[in-house]
Structure 1
Amino acid sequence: MENFCEKCRKCEKSCPTQAIYPKKQPSIENIPGINQTRTCIDREKCYPQFSKTLGCSICMKVCPFSQGDNIYYTIKENFLN
């Protein structure tokens, strides 16, 4: 899935606040049992817009993976071919 996202980038291009990084960044350090988490979302940029619009979610609306049931398998098949 990450390989597909690196090529697609629809969410990144559609984000009104440019809050989506092209590559994952360290998010939270030293969580017991997990160590470090990484994310592509800059919360400092995303949350104000999300709050202002009562749930922006443009990134999720444009994501091919949110386009219906079983879409994962269709995307996977097309991506691998």
Structure 2
Amino acid sequence: VDKVCQSCQICTRFCPGEAISPEKYDFHGIPRWRINTPKCEPYLFKLFGCKICMMVCPFGSRGKFKEDYKNTAKSIREAKTREGLLDKIVEQSGIDFEKLNVPVVEHYPDGWDSEK
């Protein structure tokens, strides 16, 4: 995806607010494209949730990689609720959530800040 994005940049060209930077920047050690929120918001609100960048992206719902997009979008939708997010964490990490679901009172009957 990253190499395609770097050479494509169609989202950058179509963004009406010119809010997507063509160059990456370092965000906590992760190279990312910057979205200038103040430039994006007027179009986002004026155009009822603009999303032009997502519509023109070849990885988007109508693009060349639409099946991959649908799977990713489904995962994101499922993770939007607290329960869905926890299910995704369990699924991805293998952590047994039931072991984590222990009432605090059981461990700290005198309160969470008491010495055990």
Question: Which TM-score tier does this pair reach, normalised by the shorter chain?
Answer: 0.5 to 0.7
Secondary structure (helix, strand or coil) at the match of 2:21 reads strand
- Using CA pairs under 8 Å that are at least 6 residues apart, name the structure with larger relative contact order, 1 or 2: 1
Name the residue aligned to 1:25: 25
Unmatched tracts of structure 2, length 5 or more: 70-116
**SS of residue in 1 equivalent to 2:44:** helix
Q: Which residue of 1 aligns with 2:47?
A: 53
- Provide Cα deviations, 1:11-64, integer angstroms capped at 9, x if missing partner: 00001111110123356xxxxxxx477542111100111011111000000000
CA distance, structure 2, for counterparts of residue 70 and residue 25 of structure 1:
26
1:54-77 deviation line (CA, Å, top 9, x unaligned): 110000000000122137xxxxxx
Which structure has the larger Rg over C-alpha atoms?
2
Q: How many residues align?
A: 64
Q: Are residue 43 (structure 1) and residue 37 (structure 2) matched?
A: yes
* Alpha-carbon distance change, 70 to 39 in structure 1, aligned in 2, over 3 angstroms: closer
- Percentage of identical aligned residues: 38
User: In 1, are the aligned partners of 2:12 and 2:20 still within 8 Å (CA)?
Assistant: yes
Normalising to structure 1: TM-score of the pair?
Answer: 0.65
TM-score computed with the length of structure 2 as normaliser: 0.48
Structure number having the greater strand percentage: 1
Distance 1:39 1:49 in 2: 19
For the residue of structure 2 that corresponds to 1:50, the secondary structure is helix
Off by >3 Å, runs of 4+ in structure 1: 35-39
Partner of 1:13: 13
